[in-house]
Structure 1
Amino acid sequence: MQTTDPTTPPVPHPTRTHPRSVLLRRRLAWAAVLACSPYLVLKLLWVVGIDVGVVHPDELNRAQWAAANALTFGMDAIAAAIAYTLTRPRETRIRAWLITLPLWVASGLLVVIMLAVPLSLLGAAVGDAGNPFAGDDFLRPWVYAIVYGGFIVEGAVLIGAFGLYVRERWGALLRTRVRALPDPAGTRDAQRFLGTAAAVLLGVAGVLRMTWALGSELGMSGRWIADRNATGRWMDGVQGGLALIGAVGLIVLVYRVGGARVRGPLAMAWFGAGSAFGWGGWMGLISAGAAPDSTLAERTSALLHLVYTAEMITGVLALTIGWFFLTECAHSFVANPTAHPDRTDRTAQREPIIQGRPAEHTVAGTASGRGARPGGSVVESPAG
């Protein structure tokens, strides 16, 4: 029987992972892999020159068309690869940032579609114009159904699988009260400065998008006004709402406001900043690279360029704050677990089960510096 040195801080109990939760996470991740398949097949066909679903293929610029589809194929292929990683039984051996960074961007992009498309369909059902599945003079209706429908399913199961993964890996941090968050390296003032700047930028971008969603033409170009439809307003409304929610989440986290669990404001900041960075970055880059006489360039006003820039800067600031936040919490929770009584839950009083193995072996492995990856550490840094 092993004895414990009383001068050594006690090793924290790992997050309790039930086998059913692991099984559900793996099934959802496999569903996400399958949900990516229709979009990937369609994009691959377009890259190789098979123009299925395109209304006027003879009007395409072949080089730009192939490059754009290769890029979006690669983006969704990364999402599929991450989803496959989440199906693996020992995915916690992978560096955290290799999963969290691409999924932060992917979830930000997908959550907007998951919310805006059903709202657009609902609006079309009650008489509003702008059915996103109606098709246009560029693509057939069934293409939009496959793309948007696939994204909605992909987003739901991928975010669900990732949520279970996060609970398995960082459950103790998620259950911590916001007011009890540590500041072992003394960077709280820097986090507050960066968080305030990010929240202000998110708030301004969110308010502008909400005004556009409500019908304002502030800062719009003539082409943008002419092409405006209900689907575009729903997109602006969802992006604006998420930006405002993300701003609130950031302020709560960096100023340690209230006694809520970390998981709530962290999710708000995650989706708010992620959607701003994903959509602002994507649209900002393609509009900046568009030809001056193109439709996209004519639709993009100077104010919209500023919004895209603000959203991209917000994402960089949020990434910086998140790195500080997770790294410091990882060090604090593992080095001094008794300093955070709010992190525990009722299952901490029982012997937890991790991946079907008794916890004593995992804890022993953590204490000796071995076996920490499968779940022995309570909170891991982004680099871990």
Structure 2
Amino acid sequence: MPASSLTSSREARCAGNSDEVTMPNVSTDERAPTRTRRMLCLATVAACVPYLALKVLWIMGIGVGVNGANFVADTRGANVLTAGLDLCAAALAVLFVRPGGRRIPAWLICGPVWVATGLLTPLTVGATIGFPVQALLDRGGPVVDEGGLNGWVFLVVYGGFILQALLLLPGFVLYAMDRWPAVFDAAGPRRVVTASERILGVAFFLGATTFALRSAYGAVGGGGLYPHPAPSQRVAQLVFAGLAVAGATAFWRLRDGRRPTRRLLVAAWIGSAVVFTESLVLVTGLVVAVDNSDRAYGPGGSLLCLFSLLAGVAGAAVGMQRIEQLSKGDDL
């Protein structure tokens, strides 16, 4: 047989074998989550169940753990809202491990988790430190009947929130590291900071600093939502101030366009979230309160609350711009 025929036959067989062993490409959307991520998802959903069960009972008019006669009726609207927020937390945990979760726009995932971070992180840190302090300094103990509720209700509510913080937020970090690995890579050249980013960054820095000073003042002298704060509430105010300072410091260090280390990324994320969510809580309290004299810091203080709220929005805008630029080429 001629050499050319042998060569042709060999090439044909190789081509055939190549066709046989070729495997279809597996997209990143189909990549299975790790066992750790699946366990975090299940645990987060389970942690939401006690709180949701309590809210459903109250919405139905069943006053479990309630002392006040009108508590259930007066808080039905608020219970519907907070139950919906907890359902969102459970839904997010599921999306972190579902293939379709990678196809959801970044802002639709990051936004709710960012708000949850601002609500859950200071609560977790404050309760972990504040309840022991309350037990040491207050003879009534860390958890007592208050506001028409039995003491055990606070244990269920705050215990559930602490578990959600310890489970939902790590689940999001693992999800984000898998979907946007470039965001967590501190190596690489500095990027150009646009004028809008610089302005928004300065606005957040000033707003976060103002928020921290106001929170520190509240811890010492009282005011705002806590005109006569208990020891645990003083600790919570100091936690707010500390997290806001951490966020402001991170934004200041990132103003020159350097790629963020994981420590700076975490500080900027948590700090901006705390400034926004806690300012939103204060502004909401000022709007819906019947007697604003016990809740406000005065006319100037109300403006400071609004300024801090807008500063939190500015921080979120800068963060999303930075994530989008760092993640070019990744799935956003």
For 1:70, which of 74, 80, 84 is the aligned residue? Answer: 80
Structure 2 residue 197 is the aligned partner of structure 1 residue 197: no
Structure 2 residue 221 is the aligned partner of structure 1 residue 216: yes
Q: Which structure 2 residues correspond to residues 183-332 of structure 1 after superposition, within 5 A?
A: 183=192, 187-213=193-219, 215-217=220-222, 220=223, 224-225=226-227, 227-256=228-257, 261-291=260-290, 293=291, 298-302=294-298, 303-331=300-328
What percentage of aligned pairs have identical amino acids?
30
Pairwise CA distance, 1:224: 4.9
Structure 2 residue 63 is the aligned partner of structure 1 residue 51: yes
Pairwise CA distance, 1:142: 0.7
Equivalence for 2:8: none
Equivalence for 1:152: 162
Cα deviation 1:38-92 (Å, max 9, x = unaligned)? 1111111111111111111x23382x41111111111111111111111324521
Change (3 A) 1:195 1:224: same
Pairwise CA distance, 1:149: 0.4
Cα deviation 1:338-363 (Å, max 9, x = unaligned)? xxxxxxxxxxxxxxxxxxxxxxxxxx
**Structure-2 separation of matches of 1:89 and 1:326:** 21
TM-score scaled by structure 2? 0.83
8 Å contact 2:134–2:230 — kept in the other structure? no
8 Å contact 2:130–2:233 — kept in the other structure? no
**Structure-1 separation of matches of 2:213 and 2:324:** 32
Greater alpha carbon shift after TM alignment, 78-87 vs 123-132: 123-132
Greater alpha carbon shift after TM alignment, 123-132 vs 154-163: 123-132
Amino acid in structure 2 at the alignment position of 1:287: L
Aligned length: 305
**Structure-1 separation of matches of 2:159 and 2:301:** 28
**Structure-2 separation of matches of 1:106 and 1:287:** 21
Change (3 A) 1:190 1:79: same
8 Å contact 2:218–2:237 — kept in the other structure? yes
**Structure-1 separation of matches of 2:142 and 2:256:** 40
8 Å contact 1:123–1:129 — kept in the other structure? no
8 Å contact 1:43–1:70 — kept in the other structure? yes
Pairwise CA distance, 1:304: 4.4
Gaps of 5+ in 2: 1-13, 15-26
Larger C-alpha radius of gyration, 1 or 2? 2
CA root-mean-square deviation = 2.7
8 Å contact 2:123–2:162 — kept in the other structure? yes
**Structure-2 separation of matches of 1:26 and 1:93:** 18
**Structure-1 separation of matches of 2:320 and 2:327:** 11
TM-score scaled by structure 1? 0.72
Pairwise CA distance, 1:272: 0.6
**Structure-2 separation of matches of 1:240 and 1:203:** 8
Q: Name which structure has the greater RCO, CA cutoff 8 Å, separation 6+.
A: 1
**Structure-2 separation of matches of 1:239 and 1:85:** 29
Pairwise CA distance, 1:128: 4.7
Change (3 A) 1:135 1:307: farther
Amino acid in structure 2 at the alignment position of 1:248: T
Q: Which structure 2 residues correspond to residues 128-143 of structure 1 after superposition, within 5 A?
A: 128=138, 131-143=141-153
Q: Which structure 2 residues correspond to residues 1-80 of structure 1 after superposition, within 5 A?
A: 22-56=34-68, 58-60=69-71, 62=73, 64-80=74-90
SS at match of 1:278: helix
Amino acid in structure 2 at the alignment position of 1:102: P
Cα deviation 1:195-226 (Å, max 9, x = unaligned)? 0111111011102212332x235xx47x954x
8 Å contact 1:290–1:297 — kept in the other structure? no
Pairwise CA distance, 1:275: 1.3
Cα deviation 1:111-151 (Å, max 9, x = unaligned)? 01110001112213433567442232521011000000010
Change (3 A) 1:137 1:318: closer
8 Å contact 1:280–1:308 — kept in the other structure? yes
**Structure-1 separation of matches of 2:275 and 2:140:** 23
Gaps of 5+ in 1: 2-13, 335-376
Amino acid in structure 1 at the alignment position of 2:47: A
8 Å contact 2:191–2:257 — kept in the other structure? no
Pairwise CA distance, 1:236: 0.7
Equivalence for 2:19: none
Equivalence for 1:367: none
**Structure-2 separation of matches of 1:308 and 1:301:** 9
Change (3 A) 1:126 1:136: same
Structure 2 residue 167 is the aligned partner of structure 1 residue 169: no
